[in-house]
Amino acid sequence: MTLNETLEKIKELDGEAMRIASARWDSIAKPLHSLGKMEEMTIRIAGITGDPDIPIAKKALAAFCADNGVVEEGVTQTGQEVTAIVAENFLSGDTTSCALCRKARADVFPVDMGMARDTKVRTDLKVAMGTRNMAKEPAMSRDEALKAIQGGITLAEELKQKGYQLLAVGEMGIGNTTTSSAMASVLLDKPAEMMTGRGAGLDNEGLVRKTNAIKKAIALHRPDPSDPVDVLAKVGGFDIGGMIGLYLGAAANRIPVVLDGFISCVAALAAVRLCPVVNDYLLVSHVSKEPATQAVLGALGKEAMLHGDMCLGEGTGAIVLFPVLDMAVCVYHSMSTFSDIHVEAYEDFAKYES
């Protein structure tokens, strides 16, 4: 599907499926709402899929890999060669996220959206050999931004056709906390100093270089905050574009998606600005240590399930949520009801309170 066709296909959640799932939770022999967000997320999944049985058995991680020309500004500890090394490690199973996926029984699908060199990772969705240095020129053209988004849509459609029922997003790209901080600064109309963190471990001088590069790029290109594609093109990255597309494509195909850390949340904010209904299809796993994460989640009106001070990337935080959701669904399907054990059900007094 094209971007416009995808946007037209995205519909509101299935209210009846959510009502049935909520009633099932209320019937289970335990205090009402006592599993908190575990209940809320599974009810949301029922609405996303239109199925109150909450089907999430087949899971996948989509890992978007890309390089960013802004690394020329000294905004990272390592060079672009690390992107390619880690990307190929997705294929061999030698990344942290792969180890977590093995335990969570999830499959891993890395895709090269724009690395500076070709690897064994699939390249058919690749936009270019890395973005340009946004501190000197726009990171990409508008056509390239749209191509990156289209790549994510295509991947979502492929995973739907393969029967995947729950997706997580991950990314790998040296310099991508710089691009995501720049996009957050524009989309939230916040100073770069508030939106920029140390990424993979910058010292104080490196943080200053990173912040200054972002401020320079925004002042030079003046991205339009009302146009997420323009923001992506001028100060974003191909990996972020791919995630935007995946969120849109997953929503069009009624697949829930678990967000990872800061970078994936910025991509989510851009996707929601393109289509507000997409927000209902997104589940938040954890709160990244990047300083702007809370501001982005606040703009999305979402709270995370986990608070573990994680900041690794690759989709690791999103994958950690998979077993939690599996446990919630296990309770949902296997627990006795109040009727089964002949005990009077709890009454929900909260709904009567003003």
Q: What is the domain-level CATH number for residue 343?
A: 1.10.1610.10
Domain assignment present for residue 11? The answer is: yes
User: Phi first, then psi: what are they for 226, rounded to 5°?
Assistant: -85, -5
Nearest to 83 by CA among 159, 179, 158: 179
Instruction: Kindly state whether residues 302 and 264 are assigned to the same domain.
Output: yes
Instruction: Kindly state whether residues 289 and 148 are assigned to the same domain.
Output: yes
Find the DSSP H helices in 162-255.
Answer: 176-188, 192-195, 204-221, 228-235, 238-252
pTM beyond 0.85, yes or no: yes
pLDDT, mean of residues 335-348: 80
Instruction: Kindly state whether residues 292 and 260 are assigned to the same domain.
Output: yes
User: Phi first, then psi: what are they for 347, rounded to 5°?
Assistant: -100, 140
Instruction: Kindly state whether residues 303 and 224 are assigned to the same domain.
Output: yes
Instruction: Kindly state whether residues 194 and 335 are assigned to the same domain.
Output: no
Q: What is the pLDDT of residue 77?
A: 86
Domain extent for 28: 7-53+331-352
Note the pLDDT tens digit of each residue in 207-257. Answer: 999 999 999 999 999 999 999 999 999 999 999 999 999 999 999 999 999
Q: Which amino acid is at 279?
A: N
Domain assignment present for residue 24? The answer is: yes
- Answer yes or no: are the C-beta atoms of 124 and 344 closer than 8 Å: no
DSSP 339: T
Q: What is the pLDDT of residue 290?
A: 87
- Answer yes or no: are the C-beta atoms of 169 and 264 closer than 8 Å: yes
Note the pLDDT tens digit of each residue in 90-148. Answer: 999 999 999 999 999 999 999 999 999 999 999 999 999 999 999 999 999 999 999 99
Residue 331 CB neighbour total at 10 angstroms: 15
Instruction: Kindly state whether residues 321 and 338 are assigned to the same domain.
Output: no
Instruction: Kindly state whether residues 215 and 336 are assigned to the same domain.
Output: no
Give CA–CA dist 205/53, Å, rounded.
Answer: 53
Give CA–CA dist 351/129, Å, rounded.
Answer: 55
Give CA–CA dist 4/23, Å, rounded.
Answer: 36
Query: How many domains are there within the chain?
Result: 2
Q: What is the pLDDT of residue 267?
A: 98
Instruction: Kindly state whether residues 213 and 76 are assigned to the same domain.
Output: yes
SS3 label, residue 246: helix
Give CA–CA dist 239/80, Å, rounded.
Answer: 14
Q: Residue 277 belongs to a domain with what CATH number?
A: 3.40.50.10210
Instruction: Kindly state whether residues 34 and 138 are assigned to the same domain.
Output: no
Instruction: Kindly state whether residues 25 and 105 are assigned to the same domain.
Output: no
Domain assignment present for residue 49? The answer is: yes
Domain assignment present for residue 126? The answer is: yes
Domain assignment present for residue 165? The answer is: yes
pLDDT, greater one: 164 or 289:
164
Instruction: Kindly state whether residues 256 and 342 are assigned to the same domain.
Output: no
pLDDT, mean of residues 4-9: 97
Lookup: tokens for 131: 């973005």
Lookup: tokens for 226: 């009302």
Domain assignment present for residue 1? The answer is: no
Domain assignment present for residue 294? The answer is: yes
SS3 label, residue 124: coil
Active-site residue numbers? Answer: 314
Instruction: Kindly state whether residues 25 and 72 are assigned to the same domain.
Output: no
Domain assignment present for residue 2? The answer is: no
